[in-house]
Amino acid sequence: MYHDSAPSQLAHVYFALHDAYKGLYVPDGHLSDAAKRAAITCATVIAVAPIHRNPDRNFPVTEREPWDLADADYPNPFLAVRSACAIVQHPFHKRPWDNRRRIYCGYVGLEFRTVEPILEEARQNGGVISTNWPVVPLSPLEESTLNLLVSDFEIFSYLTKPEQWEYR
């Protein structure tokens, strides 16, 4: 369940974060590598939060049996990490549930306030974003968060076979 303008919001936020990060870490004339694109994709989905929980699954995780846990309990982190892992060809869905859940919980707490004016424009205009936004400056925390995400997805790009990250 998402708003019809979610693709437009995702595109605007992606390019706002991409251009801001690229200005800091990618020399002119160079392209962003897969890990950077994955990190920006993940951050974009977290910032926009385009998916709303299914109202039929509106009960707390603590009231359920352990075997009833699902990726669907974390819809935006799920979309964020699966979209990003597709870029680096990492089979995230094969990780053990507890490992995925910890990553989802970490992503839930991420914030990118720099893009809030873009999202506010969408909220005020029924999803329409008509402003041609200039490059937004990242806060030090946002820059740090993106650097950590780039590092995560860089590592994920090396681990494309479940045998490589078997847990003991």
pTM of the model: 0.84
Residues 6+ apart with CB under 8 A from 45: 10, 76, 79, 80, 83
* Residues 6-59: tens digit of each pLDDT: 889 999 999 999 999 998 887 777 777 899 999 999 999 999 999 876 556 555
- How far is the C-alpha of 69 from the C-alpha of 127, rounded, in Å? 33
* Residues 143-167: tens digit of each pLDDT: 999 999 999 999 999 988 776 656 5
- How far is the C-alpha of 3 from the C-alpha of 26, rounded, in Å? 33
First to last CA, the chain: 38
